[in-house]
Amino acid sequence: MPRLQIASGTNTIDSVTPVRLANGKYRIQWKIRLQDGRLLSRDTTGSTKGEARARAHAKAAELLAQGGTGGTWKPSSLATEYLETVSKPIITESSRLSPNSKARYKTVLTYLTEAFKGYSIASVARRRTIEELLKGIAAEHGAESGRHAKGVASRYFFEELIKDDVIEFNPLAGARIDLGTVKKTTRPEGGRALTTAEYDRVLTHLLTLDPAEGVVPPKRGRYTLADRVAVHRCCIDLTLLQMA
């Protein structure tokens, strides 16, 4: 049986049969092709068959009015262009985000933009693809950045695409992705070792250092001069112990 061809600006609402649900309502599963050629699928319910069809027609008119004439964004559009044109301004102009959150999200946007280079919106919207891209971000920039990237992509990329009727579902909704445990930091890890000559000078200094040197008697309080000297002596001994 040949597949039904749907012309631009038309739908299948009147040609499909409403299905009665367990709760007594009726559901219509219909399709609509927008003026830019995109084919969308929708479900509409109503208390009666007539009400379900009426609601479906109202939704179809809304889709044509809102997203069916311009065709600004399509599944074949570049994902990076959508990030720059739609996602970034939403984050920048949001009054609900703190300055720190905005700064963090903008940094994550640069990671996403780099990862999305060369991909179309349709390609990025594939679950397997977006998982691999997020894992790549986590491996390069750290697991925490990967988790932030997942949140930003879900809320400010995929959810906005749904609003623009470019995609029908968010591939990250409820998704659990193992982003590893890689930690990235701008601080140098570990310490700086002393040279042999520096080590010898420190050792000689500590061995000849008088614990009482420079210690002044307390003006008040329960601790005596001897207590303060004892603290200095302990510090010297512990440092010598660590050097040994």
DSSP secondary structure code for residue 29 in this structure: E
**pLDDT of 71:** 55
Residues composing the chain:
244
CB 244 within 8 A of CB 203: no
DSSP secondary structure code for residue 87 in this structure: I
Burial string for 153-182 (b: 16+ CB within 10 Å, else e) reads: bbbbbbbbbeebbbbeebbbeeeebebeee
CB 230 within 8 A of CB 238: no
User: Any idea which residue has 């995609």 for tokens?
Assistant: 167
**pLDDT of 123:** 93
Angle between helices 127-141 and 99-116 (to 10 degrees): 120
The one-digit pLDDT tens for each residue of the chain (244 residues) are 445 678 878 899 999 999 999 999 999 999 988 776 778 888 899 999 999 999 999 888 877 765 544 457 888 889 999 999 889 988 888 888 888 888 899 999 999 999 999 999 999 999 999 999 999 999 999 889 999 999 999 999 999 999 888 888 899 988 888 887 777 654 445 556 777 777 778 777 777 777 777 777 777 767 777 877 787 788 878 887 777 7
Q: Helices (DSSP H) in the chain: which residue ranges?
A: 49-67, 79-82, 88-93, 99-116, 121-124, 127-141, 143-153, 159-163, 196-208, 225-243
**pLDDT of 1:** 40
User: What residues contact residue 134 under an 8 Å CB cut-off, 6+ apart?
Assistant: 115, 146, 149, 150, 153, 177, 179
**pLDDT of 121:** 93
Q: Taking the model in full, what pTM does it have? A: 0.50
Record the tokens describing residue 98, joined without a space. Answer: 């703190």
Query: Sign of the C-alpha dihedral, residues 20, 23, 29, 34?
Result: positive
User: What residues contact residue 212 under an 8 Å CB cut-off, 6+ apart?
Assistant: 229, 232
> Distance (Å, rounded) from C-alpha 150 to C-alpha 135?
10
Amino acid at 121: I
Record the tokens describing residue 29, joined without a space. Answer: 């599963």
**pLDDT of 70:** 46
